[in-house]
Amino acid sequence: MPSVRPPLKRVLSLTQLTFYGVGTILGAGIYVLVGGVAGEAGVWAPVSFLIAAVLAAMTGLSFAELSSRFPFSAGEAVYVDRAFGRAWFSRLTGLLVVLTGVVSCATLVNGFAGYLAQFVTVPDAVVIPVICIVLGFTAAWGITQSVMLATVLTLIEVGGLLLVVALALPDAVAGTGLSGAESGTPDVPFSAFGVLAGAGLAFYAFIGFEDMVNVAEEVKGVRRTMPRAIVLALVITTVLYVTVAVVAVRSMPVEILASSQAPLAEIAGHQMEAAGRVIGVIALFAVLNGALIQIVMAARVLYGAASAGWLPAVLGRVSRRTQTPLFATWLSVLAVIAFALWLPLVELARLTSIVILIIFTFVNIALVRVKRHLADPVEEVFEIPVWVPVAGAISSAAFAAVNLVAFVG
């Protein structure tokens, strides 16, 4: 890394960073993903979420240690650079991370346009640029403002999940959704294949923790704060996911959950019609939250890669007033608008999931190499056993291979 870097503003505390992480992991996926997991695993969907959480935690812990050792923006590219020392590999990794952020954000703003159409009719060609520009101004305004807004939106998202749980809890306790409720025994036998297939789908509900490391240069006491925030974010989202999954499969038949495009809205609406509409509105906020975080992340990766000399220097320029990378931010916004308006996002989104898993594989292998070959250990570094990144690399590569076969097929 170069010795002189344009400084970002270190303002994020453990609480703020944790909320940022919870928001980027939750996204809007949980509002539709529960039905898909239930379709694969049946009433054992909560087990699928637990397995997915364990798999995600392996890579999450690798990110935690690496962020403690190398607390820089463009985290994944930095980790690969420190492990392999190949500029082209670091540049490629950074660009892949930016690509995943831009395409994810483009998918989300398209989703926002779709949700909005349920309430008011506005052309996508108007909604998408306007919402991207608003989010761009928020991201450019300052990291404090961006994270504050992300925190508010995250609280709204969590509130929506808790509302669903509260409304459906009586039916869940009674086991209304289980055909064998009288005996307390589900009529769907345990299927290891179904549970693992459900875990493969549920795994994507945990993707997002990797975005946290790219705001490392804006975190106070980053070597201690970042690992703690990653772990806390994963624990909180795991508890939320498993709780929602348990309530969902016990309060409503699996067949209905699996066939619904908005299963949580379906559950809430079944209990109270107005509640279903409320969940629809909350889903709008969830989409906005995910989109904002992806813009912030993409801009920080461009900034970090430029500061390291892997991308043009202009992307590393920081505003003196806002202490944010303005050029990188607006380039990210323009790319999101272009992807959202003109490219086939369904296939790109699938490909992006594969790319993320490939990046996870790179990062886990990088940590193994760093732990074995780094001569000077960092003081107060967050350390994990070497078997964790090894397991993380194997599981990430396996998921990537399976999904690549499905994508090509």
**What is the DSSP annotation of 306-364?**
HHTTSS-GGGG---TTT-S-HHHHHHHHHHHHHHHHHS-HHHHHHHHHHHHHHHHHHHH
The pLDDT of residue 349 = 61
363 pLDDT above the threshold of 80: yes
Q: Could you tell me the two tokens for 177?
A: 């959704």
Could you tell me how many residues make up the chain? 409
pLDDT of residue 355: 86
User: Rounded mean pLDDT of 6-13?
Assistant: 80
DSSP conformation class of 70: S
Residues near 300 by beta carbon (within 8 Å), at least 6 away in sequence: 73, 74, 214, 215, 217, 325, 328
User: Cβ distance 279 to 86 under 8 Å?
Assistant: no
CA terminus-to-terminus distance, the chain: 41
User: What is the DSSP code string of 153-204?
Assistant: HHHHHHHHHHHHHHHHHHHHHHTTT-TTTTTT--SS---HHHHHHHHHHHGG
Residue type (1 letter), 108: L
At 183, is the pLDDT very low, low, confident or very high (cuts 50, 70, 90)? very low
Kindly report which listed range (63-72, 125-134, 293-302, 368-377) carries the lowest average pLDDT score. 368-377
Residue 256 has pLDDT above 50, yes or no: yes
Read off the pLDDT of each residue in 294-304 and give the average, rounded to a whole number: 90
Mean of the pLDDT values across residues 379-404? 88
Q: Per-residue pLDDT tens for 164-176?
A: 899 989 888 887 7
Which of these, 19, 26, 117, 17, lies nearest to 71 by C-alpha position? 17
Is pLDDT at 334 greater than 90 in this prediction? yes
- The CATH code belonging to domain 14-408 is 1.20.1740.10
**pLDDT score of 247:** 92
CA distances for 395 relative to 213, 231, 264, angstroms? 21, 19, 29
Domain-wise residue ranges, the chain: 14-408
Residue, of 329 and 194, whose pLDDT is higher = 329
Q: What is the mean pLDDT of residues 22-32?
A: 76
| Sequence-separated (6 or more) residues with CB below 8 Å from residue 252 | 168, 171, 176, 177, 263, 266, 267, 270
User: What are the residues whose beta carbons fall under 8 Å from the beta carbon of 278, sequence distance 6 or more?
Assistant: 160, 163, 268
| Per-residue pLDDT at 337 | 94
pLDDT at position 42: 86
5 has a pLDDT exceeding 70: no
The pLDDT of 202-231, averaged and rounded, is 89
Q: State the greatest distance between any 2 C-alpha atoms of the chain, in Å, as a whole number.
A: 69
The tens digit of pLDDT for each residue in 124-137 reads 889 999 999 999 99
Please, is 3 exposed, middle or buried when counting C-beta atoms within 10 Å of its C-beta (0-12, 13-18, 19+)? exposed
DSSP 261: S
User: Which one of 110-114, 247-251, 260-264 scores highest in mean pLDDT?
Assistant: 247-251
pLDDT cut 70: percent of the chain above it: 90
CA 127 to each of CA 29, 49, 122, 409: distance values in angstroms, whole numbers, following the listed order: 21, 34, 7, 34
Q: How confident is the model at residue 344 (pLDDT cuts 50, 70, 90)?
A: low
